[in-house]
Structure 1
Amino acid sequence: MKKIIASIAVALTFSFAASAQEVKVNPWQDCGIGAMIFPDNGVAAAISNVIWDLGTTAVTSASASEDSCNSTRVQTAQFINETYNNLEDELVRGEGVHITAMLNLMSCDAASHAETSATIRSEFADQLLGSADQTTVKAERLFNIAETATANCSAS
């Protein structure tokens, strides 16, 4: 029992540390059996993975098979991380194909794009424009802004 509790604590520590540093796949939250059972609850996924086999399957699946971690949320985070500079330029301009792709990845209906994009653009200007943070930190913050803004989008 102590091993399970210690493993859960380690998994949650890595989960929070990963989200504080950069947008990347967190094997305990985004992979393995836990992510399949709890796709929208990272903490429950991490706990499930640790209880199942101390997180071994989740960590192995993250390193051996990227497809096992390809949730839409992970794909969107990777897209934002990889195209952050393009997204930044387009947010300053107010439009662009990368913004559209990001909104589509987040299941935002095309009819909601203009309003949602304006919300993201406003928050981006308030929180990120001119920031000296590393690109990965800014990408994570943009992901969080976009995730909040798209919460009320109509699903396509």
Structure 2
Amino acid sequence: MRICVVDGKAYYAKHLLRAKLPDGPIRFPACADGMLCFTDRDLARAEAWLKEQGIGKDEYKIEELQPPPGFEKTVGVKYASRSEAIAHIEQDIEPESLVLTRLRERVDAAERRAEAAEQKAERAEGMARAAESRLETLEKDIKLTKKNYERGGQDAKR
């Protein structure tokens, strides 16, 4: 897979410069077909280097490359290494940076659920107190009514 990781960000080879490369060290990632450029800046630097080596624009071709399948998973994700990025793309293994993010998301969600449950419990306690108060009022009314009824019955006997 033609990808690299720079400062935690994954890049795929966007351009392939097909050229007969000079002997000696090459300052850019190379493959059997030519030099790989991961950004437009890399492309400009590689073209400048080819010019320094005496290779003119008519002696090389620039081929636009497509992102590898699954590369969209890398957007906004930080990677510790190229192999971690490849494992994420090919095997859907979450990188360590996402594991921590997912754990934080789960903790936040659990805290929100706990807060909602606490509020629900407080409302239930309030409703229970109100029901208890109404019950006490009804019991007092019943006692008063019973007392008045008993008095009324005694008054009727006289």
Please report the TM-score for the alignment, with normalisation by the length of structure 1. Answer: 0.24
Q: Which has the larger radius of gyration?
A: 2
Q: Judging by fraction of residues, say which structure has more helix.
A: 1
More strand by share: 2
The TM-score normalised by the length of structure 2 is 0.23
